[in-house]
């Protein structure tokens, strides 16, 4: 059946994990996200981080201002809904969670173990020291989004996700069994199977890069900095398991691109930044992965239904159409005035494109 599909119309997706950055960067990232997604969960690891509801509301206004200044068609602008996230720190209070719930625009709270990824220096150092915050989140139905890696220097970077499951996440779930948790950008079969073993209040997002690539793509024949992200690409057997669960039709797994812009010069240097930029062509990337598995019939639920249902939000009513027509990924986009932004698979061709 998959081989005969030339056009695929699906419910408009949401992106349950995206980095838009801030200020000048928004002129590039916001229009790119808006063209494919209605709701986007906006990561709070800015400089400085989004730690309070007031800061989240101000950040949302900056996003919408950038959208208003863009040349995106008004019907798309009107559907775009940035959903905000608070950055969990050692000083976050239970009262702040109540404020977040009352705001109507804060969707979740993000746990970054200190030092785990880009701009995570303010992350949590004592997980169980946040018990009052987790209890308040349970009470108000605010999900916890987790970057699932330990940061101990003596733990191999390829093992950090599994150790986080054993040392941290299992403890959080045991102590707060009713807390909604999203295991973000999972990268291993360990994480996939862990998620499957939990109750329905634990779900997971999967990125396009972790479905399409493994560490060989990043390392064989020379280091390729635009494949470098955190959590890092893993072995092929982990990639295979992610493909299996993503295309299984299990509602625990849904779209989260983790699209993360970095100026090209910061990626292509001696200590390149972690992050893959995929927002403009995320849907063709996911379609490619699902087609390889003979599972295009499962794509709509993964991209457009399961995430909304997990968050208790209505499924979108608008649609978007993918066509079996080559998309040439641009070599770069203008970014931050005189700089450029290099997307994932820059200069290459994808078999699917979004009908404009």
Whether the full predicted model's pTM is greater than 0.85, yes or no, is yes
pLDDT at 117: 58
Q: Is residue 37's pLDDT more than 50?
A: yes
pLDDT at 152: 85
- Residue 90, CA distances (Å) to 141, 183, 230 in order: 21, 20, 22
The residue-averaged pLDDT of 209-228 equals 96
Task: Determine if residue 45 is labeled as part of a ligand binding site.
Answer: yes
Q: Which residues participate in catalysis according to the annotation?
A: 258
pLDDT at 53: 98
- The continuous run of DSSP H or E covering 106 comes out as strand 106-111
Instruction: Determine the Cα–Cα distance for residues 177 and 175; give it in Å rounded to an integer.
Output: 6
Confidence band of 1 (pLDDT split at 50, 70, 90): very low
Task: Determine if residue 32 is labeled as part of a ligand binding site.
Answer: no
Q: Is residue 263's pLDDT more than 70?
A: yes
Instruction: Determine the Cα–Cα distance for residues 100 and 18; give it in Å rounded to an integer.
Output: 19
Task: Determine if residue 140 is labeled as part of a ligand binding site.
Answer: no
- Please, is 103 exposed, middle or buried when counting C-beta atoms within 10 Å of its C-beta (0-12, 13-18, 19+)? middle
- Write the pLDDT tens digit of every residue in 115-174: 555 555 677 878 888 899 999 999 999 999 999 999 888 999 999 999 999 999 999 999
Calculate what percentage of the chain has a pLDDT beyond 90. Answer: 90
Q: Compare 270 and 317 and report the one with higher pLDDT.
A: 317
- Please, is 139 exposed, middle or buried when counting C-beta atoms within 10 Å of its C-beta (0-12, 13-18, 19+)? middle
Domain ranges in the chain are 7-354
Task: Determine if residue 14 is labeled as part of a ligand binding site.
Answer: no
- Write the pLDDT tens digit of every residue in 161-207: 999 999 999 999 999 999 999 999 999 999 999 999 999 999 999 99
Q: Is residue 276's pLDDT more than 70?
A: yes
The residue-averaged pLDDT of 101-115 equals 91
- Please choose, from the candidates 133, 80, 142, the residue with its C-alpha nearest in 3D space to the C-alpha of residue 107: 142
Architecture of domain 7-354: Alpha-Beta Barrel (3.20)
Q: Is the peptide bond before 263 cis (omega within 30 degrees of 0)?
A: no
| Average pLDDT value over all residues in the chain | 95
Confidence band of 272 (pLDDT split at 50, 70, 90): confident
Candidate from 84-93, 112-121, 213-222 with smallest mean pLDDT: 112-121
């Amino acid at each position: 059946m998959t081989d005969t599909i030339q056009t695929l119309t699906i419910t408009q997706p949401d992106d349950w994990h995206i980095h838009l950055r801030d200020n000048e960067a928004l002129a590039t990232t916001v229009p790119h996200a808006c063209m494919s997604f209605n709701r986007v969960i906006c990561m709070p690891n800015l400089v400085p981080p989004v730690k309070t509801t007031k800061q989240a509301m101000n950040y949302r206004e900056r996003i919408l201002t950038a959208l208003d200044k863009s040349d995106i068609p008004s019907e798309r602008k009107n559907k775009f809904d940035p959903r905000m996230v608070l950055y969990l720190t050692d000083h976050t209070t239970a009262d702040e969670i109540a404020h977040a719930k009352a705001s109507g625009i804060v969707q979740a709270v993000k746990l970054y173990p200190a030092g785990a990824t880009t701009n995570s220096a303010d992350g949590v150092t004592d997980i169980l020291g946040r018990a009052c915050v987790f209890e308040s989140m349970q009470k108000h139905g605010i999900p916890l989004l987790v970057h699932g890696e330990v940061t101990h220097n003596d733990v191999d970077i390829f093992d950090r996700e599994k150790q986080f499951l054993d040392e941290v996440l299992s403890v959080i779930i045991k102590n707060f069994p009713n807390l909604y948790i999203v295991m973000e950008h999972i990268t291993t079969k360990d994480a996939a199977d862990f998620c499957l073993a939990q109750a329905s209040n634990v779900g997971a997002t999967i990125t396009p890069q972790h479905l399409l690539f493994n560490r060989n793509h990043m390392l064989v024949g020379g280091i390729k900095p635009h494949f470098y992200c955190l959590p890092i690409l893993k072995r092929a057997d982990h990639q295979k398991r992610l493909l299996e669960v993503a295309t299984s039709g299990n509602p625990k797994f849904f779209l989260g691109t983790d699209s993360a812009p970095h100026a090209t010069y910061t990626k292509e240097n001696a200590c390149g930044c972690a992050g893959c930029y995929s927002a403009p062509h995320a849907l063709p990337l996911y379609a490619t992965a699902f087609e390889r598995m003979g599972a295009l019939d499962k794509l709509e639920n993964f991209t457009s239904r399961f995430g909304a249902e997990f968050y208790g939000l209505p499924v979108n009513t608008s649609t978007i159409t993918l066509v079996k027509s080559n998309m040439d990924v641009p070599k770069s986009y203008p970014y931050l005035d005189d700089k450029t932004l290099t997307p994932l698979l820059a200069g290459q061709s994808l078999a699917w494109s979004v009908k404009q």
